[in-house]
Amino acid sequence: MTAYPEKIEAVQLYFVQVPLHTADGRALGQVLALYAPTARHLQACDQRIARATGFALAAVLVTAFVLYPVMLRRMRRVTTLSASLLDASIETIRVLGSAIAERDADTDAHDYRVTIYSMRLAEAIGLDAHTIQALIKCAFLHDVGKIGIQDHILLKPGRLTL
């Protein structure tokens, strides 16, 4: 179906063209019609369009006003939980670092130096922030294996021999 609106002497006209086909798909012809709606009919159409647009807009606004506070609360909760998880992760790293330092007095300052050097080198070569964060954790804990070494080996003065 095709409709072409035209105006003739300030009257809105619609030319409608509908093809006709048989059940097996052969073209029989077409129906041509000229339709001139009244001003009242056009006004009613405009009112229905305005009403439908208004309902759609109202539905969007109501949904936004209902969902926005819920989404905001959820985002705040996720942010709080993420901060707590970060704090727990940092505390775990600190405790492990302290445990390493307890085994070997020189390790504590050494771990901080290695971490600072690693971070500065990473920044100098342009690593992204996520990679630098992982590097900081690894650098700080690079001596974690000392926890499992027996004291007579770890604290032995001088060189280790076979």
Tell whether 48 and 29 lie within a shared domain: no
Residues 3 and 50 in one domain: no
Q: Looking at residue 79, what is its pLDDT?
A: 96
State which residues form the domain around 142.
42-154
pLDDT for res 121: 93
Does 18 reside within a domain?
yes
Please give the tally of structural domains in the chain.
2
Tokens of residue 51, six digits = 């009403």
pLDDT at site 30: 92
Give residue 54's pLDDT.
97
Residues of the chain with pLDDT under 70: 1-10, 103-108
Is there a single domain that holds both residue 28 and residue 54? no
- Are 32 and 84 in a shared domain? no
**How far apart, in whole angstroms, are the C-alpha atoms of residue 14 and residue 8?**
11
Residue 9: the pLDDT is: 67
Based on the fold, state whether residues 48 and 108 are members of the same structural domain: yes
pLDDT, residue 34, reads 85
Is the domain of 130 the same as that of 101? yes
φ, ψ of residue 21 to 5 degrees: the values are -130, 155
Which residue matches tokens 């073209």? 27
Beta carbons of 100 and 93 less than 8 angstroms apart: no
Residue 160 placed within a domain: no
Position 75 scores a pLDDT of 96
